[in-house]
Structure 1
Amino acid sequence: MWVDDSGGDDVPVVMLHPGWGDSAIWEPLLELLPADVRTIRFDARGHGRSPAPTEPFSTYDDLVAVLDHCEVDQAVLIGCSGGAATALALAVHEPERVDGLVLVGPGVSDYPWDFDDPYFDTFTALYDKRDVEGLVQLGRQTWARSGVCDAVEAQLRSGVLAMIAQDGLAEMDPPTYKGLATIEVPTALAVGELEHPLVTRCSMDVAARIPDCSLVTVPGADHLLPLRAPEVLAGLVAEVRD
């Protein structure tokens, strides 16, 4: 996998990108963090600069491998969407490795999603046909409700190509939902005002289950908060690091 570690001795901020994107989504946030903050980000398999998988894998196991490779015992994790799900899984299953959490429009691996929502049938039909353009258009309609620019388009297309490249080899993170109440580290959650209702509902449930989780709704923003409101996320990172 492609991994970027800025280096340093402090507790790092580890960034986990969404399924509909890659690690480049964090570049606006990187520009806002203090220069002395150690940051680590990586492209999940098949995303961005990481090659496609050739055998079953989980992003959870890969996160642990990245932390071990970078010799990180404990980190502040910021994750968007599926990246937030992986961050939550580590906080539940290996809490000693997590010093704080910033969750951005989070999913959870075993959340009770409403699979009657039309999004799921539409996604499955397009994915089964490997319809790249159709999936990108679905991404625009679902996750980019604030509007499309070059950076948003690049993220959506990167995510679609990665999903196809993974070819069904991605495995679920460990079950997490029932363990959210055990999280004891400082936690902040951000959700866009124009987020898809499925993710808004999940975000509210996650925030309610994690003790003392602070919740921020970002006006006029959609699912891609690292691009829409990096200044809000920088503030939340500072909040959980204090």
Structure 2
Amino acid sequence: MDMDITVPVPGGMVWAQDTGGEGMPVVLLHPGVGDSRIWDGVVPLLAPHHRVIRYDARGFGRSPAPTVSYSNARDLAVVLDHFGLERAVLAGSSLGGATAVSVALAAPGRVAGLGLLCPGVTGYPELSSPAVTARIGELAKAGDVDGLVELGLRTWGAAGSGTDDEAAAQLRAAVPAWFATHPYVTQDAPAFDRLPELDVPCVLALGEQDQDEVVRCNEAMAARIPGCRLVRWPHCDHFPSLRDPGAVAGLLLELAAGPRSAP
């Protein structure tokens, strides 16, 4: 039975949901272009087999905006403690992937596996094109939410069709969080050069319709992570859990069933 929970984090709170159940816990970490609702199509496929926990990072979705300095990786560690999770599979999309990697480096014994979907990573120099970064800054300064959503769809939503309502809704919900978190979020320590230190089962899925810089980053990450399985989805962009929740769930079920992930 799903339980909605408010989790205290240093100087704030985050909203979380726990399906309960048996099996290796799987913690879902949303991207910066959406919130935890982006996993709506995945959770029902995982929950019959695993305890699934997802939460909204500060300022996103149902979590209050931050008022103090914070770190996404530290917040994840607090969430794991709150739910009494000694070990869990961490599944992170984009920003959530960067957070999962940071925690896996800081506390490898707590991570039974890494499922990285179009992930970011701290310490990688060229994750976004200079033109896109500059345009985001211009639109943000103007407070142009519609412009930011349109730019986001063009940049990260290439596999969408028509008006792409689902991805647009996720972006529209995420944009206020960009403004709310910017003054307070502190970037976690650079992780890209430390990827060879990872010693956990890992699968990294990239969308070949994603932004070129993200694809190159993901290829470089997979090459550096020992034993990482790289999966390429030709018709996917930066929203894999929207485009093909079944494929995402399949990868995570396989990862969580691995021998090192046994409860």
TM-score, normalised relative to structure 1: 0.95
Match of 2:169 among 137, 154, 176: 154
Where in structure 2 are the equivalents of 1:105-144 lying within 5 Å?
Answer: 105-113=118-126, 117-144=130-157
Structure 2 match to 1:214: 229
Q: Distance in 2 between matches of 1:23 and 1:132?
A: 20
Where in structure 2 are the equivalents of 1:1-242 lying within 5 Å?
Answer: 1-113=14-126, 117-147=130-160, 148-241=163-256, 242=258
SS at match of 1:236: helix
State the 1:9 CA deviation: 4.9
State the 1:115 CA deviation: 6.3
State the 1:8 CA deviation: 3.4
Q: Which moved more, 1:47-56 or 1:1-10?
A: 1-10
CA distance change for structure 1 residues 123 and 110 in 2, over 3 Å: closer, same or farther? same
Q: Distance in 2 between matches of 1:53 and 1:142?
A: 27
Give the gaps of 5 or more residues in structure 1: none
RMSD: 1.4
SS at match of 1:207: helix
Q: Distance in 1 between matches of 2:202 and 2:31?
A: 18
Question: Which of structure 1's runs of 4+ aligned residues deviate more than 4 A?
Answer: none
Q: Distance in 2 between matches of 1:149 and 1:206?
A: 29
Which residue identity lines up with residue 57 of structure 1 in the other structure? Y
Give the gaps of 5 or more residues in structure 2: 1-13, 259-263
Q: Distance in 1 between matches of 2:142 and 2:118?
A: 28
Which residue identity lines up with residue 36 of structure 1 in the other structure? H
Q: Distance in 1 between matches of 2:140 and 2:71?
A: 20
Name the % identity: 45
Which residue identity lines up with residue 166 of structure 2 in the other structure? A
Q: Distance in 2 between matches of 1:118 and 1:169?
A: 25
Contact 2:69 2:185 in 1 (8 A): yes
SS at match of 1:56: coil
SS at match of 2:49: coil
State the 1:175 CA deviation: 1.8
TM-score, normalised relative to structure 2: 0.88
SS at match of 1:237: helix
